[in-house]
Amino acid sequence: MQVISFLGPKGTFTHEAANMIGDNLIPYCTIPAVLESVENGESLYGVVPIENSIEGPVGITLDSLAHKFDLKISDEIIIPINQNLMVNPGTKMEDIEDVYSHSQAISQCREFIVQNNIQPHYAVSTANAAKNIVGDKTKAAIGNSKAAELYGLEIIRPNIQDTDNNETRFVVVSKDDHEPTGTDKTSIIFSIYEDKPGGLYNVLGIFQKNNVNLTKIESRPSKKGLGKYVFFVDFKGHRNDELIERIISEIEDKTYFLKVLGSYPEFR
Amino acid sequence: MQVISFLGPKGTFTHEAANMIGDNLIPYCTIPAVLESVENGESLYGVVPIENSIEGPVGITLDSLAHKFDLKISDEIIIPINQNLMVNPGTKMEDIEDVYSHSQAISQCREFIVQNNIQPHYAVSTANAAKNIVGDKTKAAIGNSKAAELYGLEIIRPNIQDTDNNETRFVVVSKDDHEPTGTDKTSIIFSIYEDKPGGLYNVLGIFQKNNVNLTKIESRPSKKGLGKYVFFVDFKGHRNDELIERIISEIEDKTYFLKVLGSYPEFR
């Protein structure tokens, strides 16, 4: 049976995403550990978050795929993020003094936390926060309903995130990417020459003249100093398509670093 | 005397940056609180971090300047970030079981933490981490030397960050930006029409044809769904320069949202 590793612990949103592609799931405690488990063959697939529509990119996932691992993206999963305020059974809103969660979840519920005058604290994950508050009625945790279930907590306020449109995109990573399906996306990373002006402009021009739309463009520091970036770009098409093949080879000519992260079916 | 608010507590890197522009410093506990103190006139200037060369943008600063406050960037400060491992006097390396710091500092020292087999924990700030470990010899904190000084801790290992080139850029925010000095930079934010392809390409083309170099380009989620962005762009020149005025008005025609965050002297 195919082993799937995911960013644990159990009861996180990543667990929910991983569950959509299989049952034989093993949690790992960091994103690099998930990727390493795929690289060394302990698991066939790894599931990690790559971006959230409110908080932006997950830096460690992008950086690891760019610089540390030679793995491919073979699929993507997008799930809506509904944050819930969870408490020990019998707790009332006015009992709550402190709330625990992952920093991204705290950020996503900032207005609710301020309005209710609760002190926020960071935990390693939403599930960890849930686990940590068990038995203490002055504390609450923010996370998904799976975590409440897992640790016997009650959801006292559902959907407390500040804005709708809150969704997280996860990638499934493996040693090879996906074969063409007809509705595919391709992810690439590149760095431009710092000393030549208009580097990014020239690369975007290649997509423009070929009428290929970008579905994502994300800048990340190259870790070589302020103002130096790598760009993560997603676009429609499979790297085996003739047009995409040509585009990639043109980009290669205009950049000093290019890595194709993989082609995979678009999530719907 | 001019009051300067900064992201506290005392002993953080932001404190160090704020100290470079004045002495009458008041710490605030969140980035929005610093900005609000400037908006309501409690302080004349506010100092907040905006980007780090390793970890990338400080999302809450960018989002607050884009959407929540009508303030200007009037100056920038760049300081090198040297992370230190701090302990209670007399503690040995082998005594340390846990290490506390801000999530960005933990990320910046990931390799050191793994090599030394210490359990990382997140704190609200580097200074808060230092304060929290006072008196416990199984615990260490990561932060700057000011924090060690402030809480009577010893630096047991200096410069433990994974990579060099680690510097943070801070912005000084006020009600007006800076008058022209001859070596200025301008920061803008814009959103492109989602339904028109090549939006970013067209905006970059305006800079290209006018031979104006970008010193920064950063994408942020627009919070309206995956794949929808606002772009933060910095470039050389002052918004009062004739050329820059023209560029800004051309960009206005090609975007549905444009905000000039301010012009200010380039840090050297």
* CATH code assigned at A152: 3.40.190.10
Question: What is the pLDDT averaged over residues B120-131?
Answer: 89
pLDDT value at residue B253:
92
- Find, among B131, B135, B110, B132, the residue nearest to B120 by Cα: B110
Report DSSP state, residue A94: G
Last residue of a domain, one of A118, A142, A174: A174
Which helix or strand (DSSP H or E) is residue B215 part of?
strand B214-221
Instruction: Tell me the mean pLDDT in the region B5-33.
Output: 92
pLDDT at B195 over 70: no
The top-scoring range by mean pLDDT among A228-232, B135-139, B220-224 is: B135-139
Task: Give yes or no: residues A54 and A170 share one domain.
Answer: yes
Say what the pLDDT of residue A216 is: 86
Q: Are residues B203 and B237 in the same domain?
A: yes
Structure tokens at B205: 């083309």
Give the residues of chain A that fall short of pLDDT 50: none
- If one compares B190 and A222, the residue with the highest pLDDT of the two is B190
Instruction: Name every residue in A having a CB less than 8 A away from some CB of B.
Output: 51-57, 59-60, 78, 103, 107, 122-124, 163, 165, 167, 169, 197-198, 200-201, 204-205, 207-208, 211, 213, 215-221, 223-229
Domain presence at residue A194? yes
Q: Is residue A179 part of a domain?
A: no
- Specify whether B72 is located in the same domain as B170: yes
Same domain, A89 and A62: no
Closest by Cβ to A226, choosing from B53, B201, B224: B53
* Cβ count near A16 (within 10 Å): 20
Share of chain B above pLDDT 70, in %: 98
Look-up of token digits 């038995």: A135
- Return the closest-CA partner of residue A60 out of A93, A97, A87, A34: A34
* Overall domain count for chain A: 3
For residue A204, give the nearest of B163, B200, B225 by CB distance. B200
* Residues spanned by the domain of A129: 84-157
Beta carbon pairs, A and B, within 8 Å: 101
d(CA A161, CA A139): 18
The answer to whether the CB atoms of B201 and A205 lie below 8 A apart is yes
pLDDT in tens, A78-98: 999 899 999 999 999 999 999
B210-215, long-range: CB < 8 A, 24+ apart: B210/B243, B210/B246, B210/B247, B211/A197, B212/B236, B212/B237, B212/B243, B212/B244, B212/B247, B213/A197, B215/A227, B215/B185
ipTM comes to 0.74
**Residues B204 and B151: beta-carbon distance below 8 Å:** no
B179 domain residue, yes or no: no
Looking at the fold, whether B69 and B93 belong to one and the same domain comes out as no
pLDDT of residue B145: 87
User: B190 and B140, same structural domain?
Assistant: no
High-pLDDT (> 90) share of chain B, %: 68
Compute the average pLDDT of residues B17-25.
94
Predicted confidence at residue A37, as pLDDT, reads 97
B69/B122 same-domain check:
no
B88 vs B228, residue with greater confidence: B88
Q: Is residue B53 part of a domain?
A: yes
